[in-house]
Amino acid sequence: MALANSGKAKHGTLFFAHHQWAGKGQRGRTWDSQPGENILLSVVLEPVAFPPSAAFGLCATVALACHDFFSRHATDGVTIKWPNDLYWNDRKAGGILIENQFKGSEWLLAVAGMGININQVEFDVTASRLVSTSGHPASAALRPVSLRQITGRTFDVPALARELGECLDHRYAQWEAGGFNRLMEDYNHVLYRRGKEVQLRKDNAVFRTTIEGVSPQGELLTSDVMRRQFQFGEVEWVI
C-alpha cells in the first residue's frame, strides 16, 4: 500500500510473500500461515474507470480468480462463501481482503490480498472460530484445508502464485470489458450453500434461512417466511 501510494507500484503489480507475521483477515481477524507453505499474494489495482458503487464487482472478480485457480487443481466442491472466502466442501481453503482508497466519486486504488492454503497440513484451528452451517456438532465444524490435503501432492508455491496472477488478469479483463453480469452469474453459480438452509445471526437473533444468491450490490439474498437481504457485516454464520 505504501509503494502504491508513492507511485512505485502501478496497476497489476503483484507482491508475493514467503512468510508473513501479521496477516490480516476480514473484520479484524488474523490470517496465519506457515513459512513457505502457502500463497500470500497482494496485487495493486487502479480501478479508476469504475465508480465506488461498483466495489462489489472487484470483490467478485478477485474471488472468481481464486476459484478458477483452485478449481484447476482440486477436486469438485470448490465454492465461494459470501462475500469472498474460498471453500472446498465445508472447509476454508483461502481468504481475500480488499482495501480501497476513494476520493469523492473517484476510486483511486485497491490492494487485494489473497491467502490460499497450498502445502500446509497442520493448522491452529483454535486461532479462528469454527463455524457449522449444517447443524452438526462443534466437533464436525469447519476446518482449514490445503491443496496438498485434498490432492496428496506437494506444489511449487511461487509457480502457483504466478498462475493465480494469470487467473486474476483474465477475470479483471472480463470485468473491465463490461462483463459484470456474466461475473455475477458465475459467482452465484459457485456460491457456497446456495439453495440450502443455513443458520445466521443478526444482533442477538439466530434464525434459519435459505441462501438464494448475492445481488449485484453484494447483498446476501435469503428466504424463509419472508425474503431477506443483508449487507456484509450485518449477519454472521452460526456455530
Q: pLDDT per position in the chain (239 positions), as tens?
A: 999 999 999 999 999 999 987 766 665 566 678 899 999 999 999 999 999 999 999 999 999 999 999 999 998 999 999 999 999 999 999 999 999 999 999 999 999 999 999 999 998 765 444 333 333 333 334 589 999 999 999 999 999 999 999 999 999 999 999 999 999 999 999 999 999 999 999 999 999 999 999 999 999 999 999 999 999 999 998 85
C-alpha cell at position 171: 477475470
Give the CATH number of the domain where residue 128 resides: 3.30.930.10
Query: What does pTM read for this prediction?
Result: 0.90
| Residue 164 dihedral angles phi and psi, to the nearest 5° | -60, -40
Q: Which residues constitute the domain of residue 149?
A: 2-192
Q: Is residue 141 part of a domain?
A: yes
- Number of folded domains that form the chain: 1
Q: Is residue 17 part of a domain?
A: yes
Q: Is residue 33 part of a domain?
A: yes
Q: Is residue 14 part of a domain?
A: yes
Q: Is residue 24 part of a domain?
A: yes
CA 187 from chain center: how many Å?
Answer: 11
Say what the alpha-carbon torsion angle 199, 60, 179, 102 is, to the nearest 10 degrees. 120
Q: Is residue 62 part of a domain?
A: yes
Helix (H, G, I), strand (E, B) or coil at 105: coil
The answer to whether residues 66 and 79 touch, using CB atoms and an 8 Å cutoff, is no
Q: Is residue 207 part of a domain?
A: no
